[in-house]
Amino acid sequence: MATLTSPSSFVVAGESLVDIVFPADGGEEEDAVGGACLNVAVGLARLDVPTTLVTRIGDDRLGSMVLEHLRDSKVMVPEDSVVAGGTTSTATAHLDAQHAATYEFDLHWELPAQRLAPDTLGLHVGSLGATLQPGRASIQELVAQAVEAGTFVSYDPNIRPFFLEDPDTAWLEVLELARGARLVKLSDEDLELLRPGGKAEQVCRELLAGDETELVVLTRGGEGATAFAEGSMVEVSAPPTDVVDTVGAGDSFMASMLALLCEWGVVSGGTGALAALDDDRVALLVRAAARAAAVTCSRRGANPPTRRELPPTWPAG
């Protein structure tokens, strides 16, 4: 079992891949490094949080693209993330007239057992890395280690329809991981795929009932986002945005929330620190994340903002 020995950092564990993007206007395809967990790691690092990405890529041309992208954003990558003779995963994204993306995947996801370092700041998991076997088993073990150590965990199911076979089974798997996470984020698209016809508040409060869960945030694209905590619900509208595409917007939202929670001492504050935030603070958290996501929507691809690209008053404005 490999031990993550990077200097004290926030660990993101999950898939890395290369997006092959076909624009809605029929322009030439573009290759771009992506993957939900990779995007969260990049978003965190660009917001000045020391970040390690636990992932698997091949020692091929696309794998080199992934490593260069991560190193450019100062994301730390364990040496054993590169598989000799391996193939780097790809996702083909087709953008529609509303700039939303649908995907086709060629994934290779195996993750040897890992051990969190004692000084890990927090752990984020989600999307395909937390869905597909055999890698999911290693993700589950990492979450179990974090819970036992009292380490902050966040989770974003980020469901991909291409891999969704049975919504009921998928929902049970989401609940299994979510119960170990203090912060859970999901989108209205996730909700509709997992619980078709389900009432948003009821579904989110089912997630909130998890053993460790203290806050659930539901994003609704241009309609804003809603945060659910014990005994409260906070709604935030989305900022006006000239949308180029929505690729990676949810990942920027997630990374921004985590960066602020690190800055506010919530991540290191132990059990109950997130639940202790009052409604005004939760609203600020969600509104700031929406502003960061809007920056990503305003430019092509999963390109989360750096702290210097956000307003000087961020998160307040």
Rounded Cα gap, residues 117 and 133, in angstroms: 24
Beta bridge partners of 101: 95
Rounded Cα gap, residues 258 and 278, in angstroms: 17
Q: Of the listed 19, 156, 190, 251, which one is catalytic?
A: 251
Q: Tokens 């041309």 label which residue?
A: 61
Q: One-letter amino acid identity for 172?
A: L
Is 80 an active-site residue? no
According to DSSP, the β-strands at 215-219 and 114-115 are: unpaired
Helix then strand then coil, in percent of the chain rounded to 5, is 35, 20, 40
Phi, psi of 158 (to 5 degrees): 40, 60
Residue 118: both structure tokens together? 């004692």
Rounded Cα gap, residues 220 and 217, in angstroms: 10
Rounded Cα gap, residues 10 and 50, in angstroms: 6
Active site residues: 251
